[in-house]
């Protein structure tokens, strides 16, 4: 994280742009004590938060027996419980014009055997984000909320969750589907500034979303088993 911030600072300096002040907190968001530490830091420093991006998340793939209760619980703790908690603790420090980006996944669009808890956790993020956006608008808060639903992106995500994927399967996903984090981030920031409710990146992921809205989920579940 420090390296990313330093790279951003250097890039801003070279381009003659201002770089925002940064404070890095190393937290395990599955731990109640670390969540409490974040909440206490916010309460003590009362920062004006321009952007809140809930990116922490992981997916452990495989059927229910292969994933097991410990990994399933951690996915729910991080992808669901921590995301809600962080969003709610940041909201008091967000003024009109500030923005929240909740990171879900294209896995949110329909139930997915082989990644049942991960897909369900991301459906939660999609539904939670859309409903909270309405609540904020109804309360006149003028805080934007965009749910990002990325398809496969080349990051460490695949190193954690994909022991169940063979190299051949990953190669197939990579060739057809994967993109870079830079592409997704650029596209998402533009969409969030325009206050879009939900954003996907890429041709296939756009189709995935459209098809999930009109085809029976039983067909999509069968198709996804063939593809991945």
Ligand X SMILES: NC(=O)c1ccc[n+]([C@@H]2O[C@H](COP(=O)([O-])OP(=O)(O)OC[C@H]3O[C@@H](n4cnc5c(N)ncnc54)[C@H](OP(=O)(O)O)[C@@H]3O)[C@@H](O)[C@H]2O)c1
Binding site for ligand X (CB under 6 A): 27-30, 55-59, 78, 103, 105, 150, 152-153, 155-157, 160
Residue closer to ligand X (CB basis): 141 or 172? 172
Burial state string for 95-106 with b = 16 or more CB within 10 A and e = fewer than 16:
eeebbbbbbbbb
CA distance 214 to 228: 21
Cα of 106 vs its chain's centroid, Å:
10
Residue labelled with tokens 């997704």: 184
φ, ψ of residue 50 to 5 degrees: the values are -80, -40
Q: What's the closest the beta carbon of residue 12 comes to ligand X, in angstroms?
A: 21
Q: What's the closest the beta carbon of residue 62 comes to ligand X, in angstroms?
A: 16
- Would residue 20 be called left, alpha or beta, if left means φ above 0 and alpha means ψ between -120 and 50 degrees? beta
Residue closer to ligand X (CB basis): 137 or 170? 170
Contact 65, 112 (CB under 8 A): no
Residue closer to ligand X (CB basis): 26 or 139? 26
Structure tokens at 81: 């419980």
CA distance 172 to 220: 18
Q: What's the closest the beta carbon of residue 44 comes to ligand X, in angstroms?
A: 20
Residue closer to ligand X (CB basis): 37 or 225? 37
Q: What's the closest the beta carbon of residue 96 comes to ligand X, in angstroms?
A: 27
129: which strand partners? none
Residue closer to ligand X (CB basis): 81 or 141? 81
83: Cβ contacts below 8 Å, ≥ 6 apart: 54, 56, 57, 102, 125, 128
**Closest residue to ligand X: CB criterion:** 57
Residue closer to ligand X (CB basis): 29 or 120? 29
Q: What's the closest the beta carbon of residue 56 comes to ligand X, in angstroms?
A: 4
Q: What's the closest the beta carbon of residue 59 comes to ligand X, in angstroms?
A: 6
């Amino acid at each position: 994280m420090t390296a990313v911030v330093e790279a951003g600072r250097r890039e801003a300096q070279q381009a003659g742009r201002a770089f925002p002040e940064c404070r890095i907190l190393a937290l395990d968001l599955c731990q109640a004590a670390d969540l409490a530490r974040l909440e206490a830091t916010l309460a003590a420093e009362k920062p004006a938060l321009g952007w809140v991006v809930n990116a922490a998340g992981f997916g452990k793939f495989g059927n229910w027996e292969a994933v097991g209760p410990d990994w399933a619980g951690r996915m729910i703790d991080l992808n669901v419980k921590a995301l809600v908690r962080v969003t709610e603790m940041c909201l008091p420090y967000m003024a009109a014009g500030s923005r929240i980006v909740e990171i879900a996944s294209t896995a949110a669009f329909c139930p997915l055997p082989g990644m049942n808890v991960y897909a369900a956790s991301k459906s939660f993020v999609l539904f939670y984000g859309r409903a909270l956006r309405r609540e904020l608008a109804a309360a006149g808060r003028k805080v934007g909320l965009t749910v990002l639903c990325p398809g496969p992106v080349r990051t460490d995500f695949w190193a954690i969750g994909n022991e169940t994927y063979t190299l051949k399967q990953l190669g197939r996903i990579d060739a057809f589907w994967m993109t870079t984090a830079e592409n997704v981030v650029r596209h998402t920031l533009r969409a969030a500034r325009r206050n879009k409710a939900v954003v996907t990146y890429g041709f296939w992921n756009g189709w995935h979303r459209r098809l999930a809205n009109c085809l029976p989920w039983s067909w999509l579940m069968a198709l996804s088993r063939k593809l991945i």
